[in-house]
Every structure is written in structure tokens, then in C-alpha cells.
Amino acid sequence: MAKDKLEKSEYGAKSIQVLEGLDPVRKRPGMYIGGTSTEGLHHLIWEVVNNSIDEAMAGNGNDILVQLLPNNIISVRDFGRGIPVEIHPQTKKSTLETVLTVLHAGGKFGGDGYKISGGLHGVGVSVVNALSAWTRVETCREGKVWAQEYKKGIPQGDVKSIGKTDHTGTTVIFQADPEIFPEIKYSWTKILDYVRQQAYLTKGVKIVVEDRREATAPELEYKIRKHGFYFDGGIISFVKFLNRGKQIKNEMPVYIEKTVDDVAVEISLQYTDGYKEHLYSFANNIFTPEGGMHVTGFKMALTRVLNDYAKKNNLIKEKDGGMTSEDLKEGLTAVVSVKLRNPQFEGQTKSKLGNAEVRGIVSSITSEGIQEFLEKHPGNAKAMIDKCLLTVRARIAARAAKDAVLRKGALEGMTLPGKLADCTTRNAELSELYIVEGDSAGGSAKQGRNRMFQAILPLRGKLVNVEKTSLDKVVKSDTLKPIIIALGTGIGETFDVSRLRYGKIIIMADADVDGSHIRVLLLTFFYRYFEDLIKNGHIYIAQPPLYRIQKGKDVRWVYDDREKDAIVEEFRLKGKEAKGDKGKSGKDGKSEETSGELGGDEITPEELEEAGGEIEKIAGVTIQRYKGLGEMNPQQLWDTTMDPEHRKMLKVEIEDAEEADRVFDVLMGADVEPRRRFIQTHAKSVKNLDV
């Protein structure tokens, strides 16, 4: 049998597919831009903008213009040297066409093109061209404007001179291909955030972003949105921006800038009274979320220098011991930026820098810079050390409290004060933990759940706002302690995501103001101490219905008032149609279809008994409103909110960690004034306030 299959396979040279030119990009776009989702779509803009920033870093032109045009067209213009147009010696085509149509063709592989650049693979603009339905490139050089157009990466003619100019630079205009991207919708906020970040990292460069998508005619010019970024302070301004609204420890940020062996290092850091670290690292202006050698070198030096300074100046007591790297993370806001000639990134997405030589260089420069700062600014130095020592003491207290909690949990066999009703399966990928508001809802959830894979943990007592308290108090909290033990991951320095006992952690609270408050408190808790659970997609929010609407045997579960009104109207129209039908005549000559259900609005005793919430009847339509989860019986809770086949849930994601952190600070932080301003700003947008 196996022999027959081999003979029929006809595996030979014809079976091998060779993709030429830009075909590999269109075939496997994820290999080049990470995917075809929203992130991949925006990555097209980043690739072109990065080319313009490379020109600026090379000292050629300080102005960049990014425009969002109607019909999902993007235009990026710089005033650099302009892409060359002369015939390339290898391809025998115009250099402009070579750059736009050949992978790994660019000025970033040595030579005199760029000493430092954000590109590694030289595929940036050619990938954008390949994944665009239409592209046009204009380059200004030597007094002339040259242009060429492409469709799906294929040139639509030769490079031609279209006029004269006194400027130099390149303009790339493209329209993403809907055959590649299922949804083409650019985010103004996402673009502004990225451009702002790049402007901080390239001080002295002016980047203007214009949104002209709605300005489809001259009379609609007023709809243009415009934002410009220019920062003389560079990453010092970046650190101050990240710390806006926070209580600062060292009023003067640490700033270090030095170049050693063709590696330019720029670092700024500042401590706040917060409990979370905000460290942003970059290599050649490319964000490296997983860090790398530059971050390792920075942390080694920071730990060593602050410990040495504290001991030398008797700021640290013998009983406190030394400060660990973990102790120095709390409240730290830092930007670490390195620029080097040949960056070695791990993976196409460039999330981690791998150049081993960078670690020692960054460590040496950081040590020297921080030592100098501490000696020159003793007041700021003491504030930084005091903050770190406070973390040391909290760590020691938290460890003692945590050990006691975990010991107690183990001795009690995980029979927690919160009355965890565990599930049968021990497979974390299949199991779910419902964190439920209140004993009443918890009771219904326990009865209605599938015991095989669903665990229930009712919340008791007042939730702690972790934004205003330290870790040792968090682990002592009677409300949060059961959650910590139930998760099984540990917390703080002992956190290990591989020990997570449940694949889904689902917050299930009432759809009212109190429920919203509980959700925010729990999300703050997870964001501050279990951020990896959010990043890995483990945290969800249950969506219980507000209404149960029934007409005859037709039952609908409804999640908002707009949907309720639409369904009631649907039933009303059906009722009118039924009344309009003549139907069969009974013995008394009346229509059988119009008798009975449509006639009265009286609520039967059976309906009252079944209803947990408010109930009303309009034209034969029974509307039952649930004020809380506890008003649902176990079967209703299962049918609407817990049954995987029918439930609705929201997965909690962090699109922008910086913005998420700012919002948590505003809503939950110790400073009242930013929260007051937030409420005053958004009060008018609240349509329904449940008091």
C-alpha cells in the first residue's frame, strides 16, 4: 500500500514552487510584518516612517509629513536625500525600482548608505509595495522630481522625470491591499502614539501627522486633524511624559548620553511613588519589548551603583540587607536607547536585541553616568534610595505574609475563606475560574455550573484598591488572598505563570455601577500584579444579560436597552401582522390567530414565580429585567452567562500599556485632582447613570 502511494505521488522538480520577486511577501505576509491584523496593517506605516527617520538620524532633513488620505491612502514625505534613480549595477534597473521591488535591497547592509538605521533586513519599503494594491513613489534629487507607480508590487512603467524642484526627499504613497488585509481601518491614536515615541527618540526632528480622510472636498477642509511633534529634550521629555500626573521622587531625571566603539547610548530614568516598573527599551529607534543585552547591561549597573552609594553614605541599614534588581523596579520609569551599526535582533519583529558586546558598553556607561548624577545631586539621590529601601522593607513584609498565607492555604487543603468550589479537571487549559460578586450570585453559579471544568469563587468583603497599597497588604487582604491562592501562580517575586491552575479567569459582576466598580478594582489588581495573565489572554469579563424577553415560545436574552427596544418592536410588528390576517374562522366567526396571547398584559402567577427581577408585559410581550446576577436562577445563569455554547465574554487585552497605566493611575491612584478632571470632562457623555 505504501509503495502504491509513493508511485502515485509524482514528487519531483515540478512539485517545488519557486516564488520570485515580491511573491513570497504576498504568499506569507506574516513572515514580514507579523500578520495581517490591525498590527500588521499599521506596520506598513511604521516601515515607511522608519526609513524617513533613518534619513534624519543620518543628518539629512529634519521634517517628516505623514498623511491619512481618503480611500485608505497613506502618504509619507521626508526631506532627506531622496532615493537614487540611476541604473543599479547589479539589477540593471533604476535604483528606485530596485529598492521598491527587490527584497534585501537597501542602504543598510554596510557601505556609505547609513551608519545607523532601524532596518535590519532591508525589506521595509519593498514589503509595503508588495502588500499594497497601489503604490506611488516620488523622489526629489539633483533638481528633478522622479516618479514610478506599482500595482501589487509590479511596476506600471519606467521611472520618469515629472518636473523640476529645489528640494530633496522621498514621498511614498500607498493603499493597502484588501486582498491581504481583511479590515483596513487606521487608528489615529495608534499612529499618534507611535510618531510621538519616534519624535522623543530622535530629538530635533519634527514629525507632522495629518488626518485628511474626511476632507474629501475643499469645503470640508475644516475636518482635517493635525498634530505635530518636536522635542528638544529627547528621552528626558519622554520620561516626563510617562510620569505626568504621578508623584515624583527625584525631581531631576537622570540623563546619560555617550558613545563608545560606535555604540551610542542614551538613558533617562526617574522614580515615582508607584509600584510598577515602566521601562522602554529601543535599538536604533525600534521598540524592543522583550529587552535584550542593552537592558541587561542597564539593570546590572543600576543595581550595583545604587547599592554601593547607599552603603557608602550609610543610607541602608544592616537589617535591610542589599537591594535586589527586583527592588529597584518598583516606581522606576526609564528609557534605554542604543544606536549601533549592525544590530542583531531576535526574530523579524525585532523584539529583543542580541548583540553581546552591547551589554558591557551599556553597563559601563550607565555606571559612570549614575555615579556622577548621585554625587552631584545628593537630594535627588537620597529620594531615589529611600524609595528603593521602602520597597525592600515591603518585600520582606510581603514575603512573611505570603509565606503565612500559602502555608495556611496548604494546611486547609485550599478550603478558602472565599469558599472556592473547585472543578474536577486538573487540566489548566480546559478549566475556568469564575470570580463572582456576592454570595447570592455565587450560590446560583455553583448550582448552575459544569462541575467538570468550572470553578466558582464568590467574593466576600471590601476589595482593596491595589493602586493605593503595597504588596504586603495585598497578600493579607481577606478578599484578594483567596484569589492569589486559587490562581496558584504565586505573586511578586515568586510569580510563575506556568503554575496557573485555570486557563480562563472570568470576572462575573452585576451590570450596574457597583458591578463596574468591582470589575475595575479586580482589573487593577490583575494589571498590577498579574500582567502576564492579561498579556497571555487568560482574563475575561462575563457579559450577563439585562433582559429576558418572551413572546409565546420565542425567548430572547438581551444585553442593552437598544437591543431590547429593537426586539420589542420586532414582536410588536409581528403581532400587527397576525392581527391583520383573516385566518380560519372558528364556530363563532372570530379569527383563531388573534385570540389569546396578543390580547392582555396580565402577568401570570407562574411568570411572577419564575422571574427573579422586575417584570412587565407589553402587548403580550413579557419583559424581565435583571438588576443583578443573584436574581437569576441557576439554569438561567448557565444558559446566558456560563454555557460556552451561548455565553458572551470579553477578553481583556492591553493594546497600549502606557495608556492603560495612565488610566489606572487617574481612576485608581492616590491623587484626587486628575480623577476630578476626568469626571468633569466625561460627565456629559454618561447617558444612563444608575445611582
Catalytic machinery residues: 437, 510, 512, 514
Q: Could you give the CA distance from residue 111 to residue 129 in angstroms, rounded to a whole number?
A: 25
**3-state SS, one letter per residue, for 185-200:** CCCHHHHHHHHHHHHH
Altogether, the residues listed in the chain come to a count of 691
- HSE toward the beta carbon, residue 611, CA cutoff 13 A: 22
- Please provide residue 436's backbone torsions phi and psi, each rounded to the nearest 5 degrees: -110, 135
Q: Could you give the CA distance from residue 140 to residue 163 in angstroms, rounded to a whole number?
A: 9
* DSSP H or E segment with residue 101: helix 95-101
The one-character DSSP state at 642 is: I
The one-character DSSP state at 545 is: -
Q: Could you give the CA distance from residue 143 to residue 593 in angstroms, rounded to a whole number?
A: 84
Q: Where are the beta strands (DSSP E) in 578-679?
A: 614-618, 621-625, 649-651
Q: Could you give the CA distance from residue 210 to residue 201 in angstroms, rounded to a whole number?
A: 21
Grid cell in block for residue 319: 537589617
Q: Could you give the CA distance from residue 580 to residue 572 in angstroms, rounded to a whole number?
A: 12
Integer Rg of the chain from CA: 31
Q: Where are the alpha helices (DSSP H) in 202-259?
A: 235-242
Q: Which residue has the cell 501562580?
A: 489
Grid cell in block for residue 3: 509503495
- Please provide residue 10's backbone torsions phi and psi, each rounded to the nearest 5 degrees: 50, 45
CA 89 vs CA 86, 95, 204: distances in Å = 9, 9, 36
Q: Could you give the CA distance from residue 255 to residue 562 in angstroms, rounded to a whole number?
A: 54
**Side-by-side strand order, sheet with 614-618:** 554-558, 547-551, 621-625, 614-618
Per 3-state DSSP, the chain is made up of helix, strand and coil in percentages (nearest 5) of 40, 20, 40
Grid cell in block for residue 469: 497599597
